[in-house]
């Protein structure tokens, strides 16, 4: 287990004000839309003022007003080893001392590519700077390889802000999608089909109607962006097999689950056991070690269609940046079975305590997980497990908002959205976990009160 010391100062009960965060947020809103550089950070779903974080160590964040929080966001996934891991910091500092970007090939890129090829079923990888770029490039490659144009995705799966993937289901199953946001032209989503997750019949129907035109199906290996919705047993194998039967490529997006759901990502929980592999995969988050790095990779014959070996163009000024790849490589090398076992155990403790507190307070909830990833849905268990986006949409967002703020007041920084996994790291030691456990009963009571007021 990797542990990091907590900051020296003792946290002192309730938080000590948020004046500096509030003032920074004012300034930020004047110069940046919504005051943030990625929407979910803004607290729009829960209300209130986002905390501006000044520093972080291990499992703890410190904001600009000096409040400390147990971090259950972990930068939305990347910080698998916690903040400021000494070996990652030392490797990064040494890399920075040598120079920060050359626009030439470098050794850390080769080493990180070798590490990813060794740990996943991909034969070759190409580095990019964000998960969005990874999925966008994988889709271009799939289209270039197959000579087809239609893309299948599932409602509630997020693959970054790629135009063709910011799509909502059309009027019926197996009809083409409509843009999910202004600014995306209909022509960008006109070749996207959006299906309900975990629905084999919908997939069969889409392939029956459009099979000859389908270049690829892209899915989160296990959805984590509508809360954690595990694939039903055999679902990913079914997708891989169906794609193969129709000459389409199966793209498994492991930007979130990769190197996080387990040592081998979600694929380690299904494909590795069942004996199949995706044609293409995408990675990000953990593999960047807290820096902007992501990748797509897959079958050698598909990857060899990529420029400069093949005709499908793709490029990036900072792709494979030596600082980012050094951080990612050091992180992956430190991500041992022990790290995952620790995160799993801490997660089990928090899941059980959250369920107990919410039950005690009479707040309906469903806890779901895949590997070491989990989330708490504020939905009624009488409606069954959350299998798809329609189920996830039943979340009681008012109860969640009350719960979120009660946790924040008790020094636990949850993702400010009811549709997110709670992220842990190997630095979440007993003290950090206990802080979460201590906060849960009163937060559950706050959620119960919010339900009564509606």
Ligand X SMILES: *Cc1c(COP(=O)(O)O)cnc(C)c1O
Contacts with ligand X, residue ranges (CB under 6 A)? 130-132, 135, 158-160, 220, 225, 253, 255-256, 284, 294
367 DSSP β-pair partners:
376
Beta bridge partners of 220: 253
Q: Given 253, 270, 279, 391, which residue is catalytic?
A: 253
Rounded-to-integer distance, Cα 440 and Cα 253, Å: 32
C-alpha dist (Å) from residue 420 to 9, 157, 225, 359, 380: 30, 12, 6, 20, 17
* Cβ-based nearer residue to ligand X, 20 or 161: 161
* Smaller CB separation from ligand X, 219 or 326: 219
CB closer to ligand X, 58 vs 265: 265
What's the min distance (Å) between Cβ of 254 and ligand X?
7
Minimal CB distance to ligand X: which residue? 131
Which residues of 337-442 form beta strands (DSSP E)?
Answer: 366-370, 373-377, 412-413
Question: What are the φ/ψ torsions at residue 173 (nearest 5 degrees)?
Answer: -65, 145
Q: From CA 336, how far away is CA 317, in angstroms rounded?
A: 32
For ligand X, which is the closer residue by CB, 72 or 255? 255
User: Pairing mode, if any, of strands 373-377 and 412-413?
Assistant: unpaired
Strand order in the sheet with 214-220: 124-128, 294-298, 280-283, 249-253, 214-220, 150-154, 192-195
| Nearest-angstrom CA–CA distance, 189 and 233 | 30
Select 332 or 432, whichever has its Cβ closest to ligand X.
332
Q: Rounded to whole angstroms, how far apart are CA atoms 236 and 221?
A: 7
Concerning whether 351 is annotated as a catalytic residue, the answer is: no
Q: How far apart are CA 127 and CA 294, in angstroms?
A: 6
Helix or strand holding residue 208 (H, E) = helix 200-210
Say how many C-beta atoms besides its own lie within 10 A of residue 147's C-beta: 8
CA distance 14 to 163: 43
| Minimum distance, C-beta of residue 156 to ligand X, in the bound complex (Å) | 11
In angstroms, the CA 138 to CA 392 distance is 27
* Minimum distance of ligand X from residue 209's CB (angstroms): 27
> Please, what is the minimum distance in Å from the beta carbon of residue 158 to ligand X?
6
Nearer to ligand X, 131 or 196 (CB): 131
Minimum distance, C-beta of residue 258 to ligand X, in the bound complex (Å): 9
Choosing from 69, 153, 158, 388, the catalytic residue is 158
Inter-CA distances, 35 with 130, 261, 334, 419, Å: 21, 31, 35, 21
Taking the complex as a whole, the smallest distance from the CB of residue 33 to ligand X amounts, in Å, to 17
User: Is 158 tagged catalytic?
Assistant: yes
Based on CB atoms, which residue is closest to ligand X, 281 or 361?
A: 281
| Catalytic residue selected from 270, 285, 419, 429 | 285
State in angstroms the smallest separation of the CB of 364 from ligand X: 27
Catalytic residue at 285?
Answer: yes
Name the residues annotated as catalytic. Answer: 158, 253, 285
């Amino acid at each position: 287990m990797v542990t990091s010391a907590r900051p020296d100062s003792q946290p002192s009960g309730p938080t000590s004000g948020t004046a500096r965060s509030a003032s920074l947020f004012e300034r930020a809103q004047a110069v940046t839309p919504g005051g943030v550089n990625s929407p979910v950070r803004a607290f729009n779903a829960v209300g209130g003022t986002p905390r501006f974080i000044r520093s972080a160590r291990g499992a703890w964040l410190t904001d600009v007003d000096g409040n400390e929080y147990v971090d259950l966001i972990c930068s939305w996934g990347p910080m698998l080893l916690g903040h400021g891991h000494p070996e990652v910091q030392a490797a990064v500092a040494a890399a920075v001392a040598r120079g920060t970007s050359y626009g030439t090939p470098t050794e850390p890129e080769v080493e990180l590519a070798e590490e990813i090829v060794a740990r996943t079923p991909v034969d070759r990888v190409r580095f990019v700077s964000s998960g969005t770029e990874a999925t966008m490039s994988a889709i271009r490659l799939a289209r270039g390889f197959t000579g087809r144009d239609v893309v299948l995705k599932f409602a509630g799966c997020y693959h970054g802000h790629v135009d063709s993937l910011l799509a909502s289901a059309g009027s019926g199953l197996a009809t083409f999608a409509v843009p999910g946001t202004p600014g995306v032209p209909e022509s960008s989503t006109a070749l996207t089909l959006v299906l309900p997750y975990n629905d084999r019949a919908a997939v069969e129907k889409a392939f029956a109607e459009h099979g000859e035109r389908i270049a690829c199906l892209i899915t989160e290996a296990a959805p984590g962006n509508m809360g954690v919705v595990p694939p039903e047993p055999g679902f990913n194998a079914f997708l891989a097999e169906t794609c193969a039967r129709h000459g389409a490529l199966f793209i498994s997006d492991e930007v979130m689950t990769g190197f996080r759901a387990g040592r081998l990502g979600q694929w380690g929980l299904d494909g590795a056991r069942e004996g199949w592999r995706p044609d293409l995969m995408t990675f990000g988050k953990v593999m960047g070690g807290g820096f902007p790095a992501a990748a797509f990779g897959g079958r050698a014959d598909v990857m060899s269609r990529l420029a400069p070996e093949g005709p499908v163009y793709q490029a990036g000024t900072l792709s494979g940046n030596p600082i980012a790849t050094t951080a990612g490589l050091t992180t992956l090398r430190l991500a041992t079975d022990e790290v995952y076992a620790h995160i799993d155990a801490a997660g089990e403790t928090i899941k059980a305590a959250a369920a107990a507190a919410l039950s005690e307070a009479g707040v309906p909830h469903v806890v779901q997980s895949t590997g070491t990833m989990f989330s708490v849905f504020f939905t009624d268990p009488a409606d069954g497990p959350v299998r798809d986006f329609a189920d996830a949409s039943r979340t009681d967002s008012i109860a969640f908002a009350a719960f979120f703020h009660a946790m924040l007041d008790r020094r636990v920084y949850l993702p400010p959205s009811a549709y997110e996994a709670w992220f842990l790291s190997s630095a979440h030691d007993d003290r950090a976990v206990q802080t979460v456990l201590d906060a849960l009963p009163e937060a559950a009571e706050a959620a119960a009160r919010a339900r009564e007021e509606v």
